[in-house]
Amino acid sequence: MLMYLAFGNLLIKYLWRIKTMNWKRFRLLGMAVLAGFFVTGCVSMNVKLVEDFTDPLMETTLEGEGADKVLVIPINGFITDQVKDGMMKKKPSLVKEVVSQLRKAESDPTVKAVVLKINSPGGTVTSTHILYNEINKLKSKRGVPIVVSMMDITTSGGYYLSLPADHIIAHQTTITGSVGVVFMRPKFQGMMDKIGVSIETNKSGKNKDMGSPFRATTDLEVRSFQSIIDELADLFEDKVAEHRKVSKSALKEIMTAKIYTANQALRLGMIDQLGFTDDAINKARSMAGLDGNSRVIMYRRVQFADDNIYNDLTARSGAGTPLVDLGPLSTISDVKPGFYYTWPAATE
């Protein structure tokens, strides 16, 4: 109790000082006070300075008053099943968050249509395929129409997730495409040669250290990796052909893995329409036979004031937020060796 009072008194004095003096001068002091609360356990369990992603998803109505619902599910960022480390807590993976929302929609008979709002350069092959399968499962079990609203970038794995949709709408400024596979792995051989360091390897088979970052890639390895890439690319191509019904010449063009503007993608048959998220919602309503009074909902873990369809957070920012934001550099360490349905230039 005495420790609670001591920290409380210190915080009051600090707040009084920054009210009348330069904020920058006392920023570090404030951080130290808050850190002290966490370290000593003086934060009340009823006060959430950092949101908890273990809170249940709750339905939030963004517009409309009818009984039937159109659910908007945001899919943002790199598609992976890896959790993200934060300053205080871990943030669930993109796969986990999206699957949780799909499963919740599956159990709600009043959800009559779904809009996937996608802003993603892609991700790992397996995580992308998992989400694709989960979206398909919702369609097969509930039969609800699914409409995609593409945002800034919906490339590679992001486009893969769009394929099960009944209708794809892209903003005029959307970049899409990059339909293909890339195998990324680091190479340290040149750096090690410069500093005079080498790695010795004992192995049970000649291919046991395939893709080693400590030596040059052999011709046999190049052919082996390419065969894997070709098989995964064929899977992607089959999905495009199955869902989009484009011409052979268009499919051949798409599989060059170029990126396209929305207008270019429309001409190739990759998407169905140019428009905004509001258009995607109205299209979903129309396909489900709903009127304009049907509710538009999202799933949140907390409530937000003046909420709308462009707020993609399930919880307030804080959980999973690093102490220092390095921007695009912050995710370089997340890209591990492996096969990706992604546009590398847009990975951030």
pLDDT digits (tens, 9 = 90+) for 21-51: 554 555 555 555 555 544 444 444 444 444 5
What is the average pLDDT across 296-307?
81
Length of the chain: 348
Confirm whether 156 is a catalytic residue.
yes
Q: How many Cα atoms occupy the beta-carbon half-sphere of 269 within 13 Å?
A: 15
Tell me: pLDDT of 154 over 80: yes
The domain spans of the chain are: 2-40, 58-193+211-323+335-346
Least confidently predicted of 68-77, 162-171, 335-344: 335-344
More confident residue, 21 or 145: 145
Confirm whether 208 is a catalytic residue.
yes
**Largest Cα span, the chain:** 76
**193 neighbors 174 (Cβ within 8 angstroms):** no
pLDDT at position 79 is 95
Query: In the structure encoding, which two tokens stand for residue 288, read together?
Result: 């489900």
Q: Global pTM?
A: 0.76
pLDDT at position 195 is 84
Over the stretch 225-248, which tens digit does the pLDDT of each residue have? 999 999 999 999 999 999 999 999
What is the average pLDDT across 11-26?
53
- Cβ neighbors of 265 (< 8 A, separation 6 or more) are 170, 174, 176, 177, 271
> Active site residue: 93, 120, 127, 156, which one?
156
CA distance 119 to 124: 15
> Active site residue: 141, 203, 208, 336, which one?
208
What CATH number should be reported for the domain whose range is 58-193+211-323+335-346?
A: 3.90.226.10
